[in-house]
Amino acid sequence: MTASELPAPGSTDRTIVRRLAEKTVNDRAAGYSILDAGFVAHVSVADESGQPYVVPVGYARDGDRVLFHGSTGSRLFRGLADGQATCLTVTLLDGMVLARSTFESSMQYRGVMVLGTCSVLEGADKDSALEIITEHLLPGRWAEARHPNTKELAATLVLALSLDEMSIKVANGPPDDEDDDVPRPIWAGVVPLRESFGDPEDAPDLVAPYPVPDYVTAWRRPDPA
């Protein structure tokens, strides 16, 4: 199934945005751009007793699916590998919205929610997924760093979650004050929030004065669209 054949974001019974529905985005490409800009996803999973947990994971989008990995020793990840239903979310915070009332004050954000079950990747598919995740989080690193050895691969569980069923919500406007609050003699507006990479710091055990790779100094965080 191609992206054009997949359900539109927010179009299924489980993904219809009911609270602040005006912030819904139904463009799948917009959701993919949010996923491509993020580094950390939060994945829901329950243990044997039914206790729910939310686990942060590094991830990457690969076409119409999200890839992430964890330890084969984790009971929570084994539950996902066994087909437990899950919910994966990615949220990008773009700014703080200061209205004239605390009730109307809010945030600018872009968020994606994905529902489904995971599949386990093995063999060449697993190797490829680890490269894709590495290159999303650390562009340029895969070609230079040592790749996982047999023991490390055996300890790593790589999962794929289809983007078949997803919803997108974006808040990017100015304060929306009540008419009676507009004359209040206080500042109102938006304080943008931007992530950026700092100056690289050498590892304390670096055995030679190796220069920082060009691909690292080229890393930039994209501005919100």
SS (H, E, C) 59-72: EEEECCEEEEEEEC
pLDDT digits (tens, 9 = 90+) for 29-44: 999 999 999 999 999 9
Q: Does 186 have pLDDT greater than 90?
A: yes
Q: Span 71-99, mean pLDDT?
A: 95
For residue 161 the two structure tokens come to 């979650």
- Mean pLDDT, the chain, whole residue set: 92
pTM, full prediction: 0.90
- DSSP state for residue 224 in the 8-state scheme: P
- pLDDT, one tens digit per residue, over 145-182 is 999 999 999 999 999 999 999 999 999 999 999 999 99
User: Per-domain residue ranges for the chain?
Assistant: 3-175
Spatial separation of the C-alpha atoms in residues 218 and 214, rounded to whole Å: 6
Tokens 């243990």 identify what position? 47
Q: Residue 22: its pLDDT value, please? A: 72
Question: What is the pLDDT at residue 89?
Answer: 97
Give the residue among 63, 59, 108, 62 at the shortest CA–CA distance from 86: 59
Query: Residue 42 — φ and ψ, nearest 5°?
Result: -115, 125
Of residues 106 and 13, more confidence is placed in 106
Fold of 3-175: Pnp Oxidase; Chain A (2.30.110)
- pLDDT over 70 percentage in the chain: 95
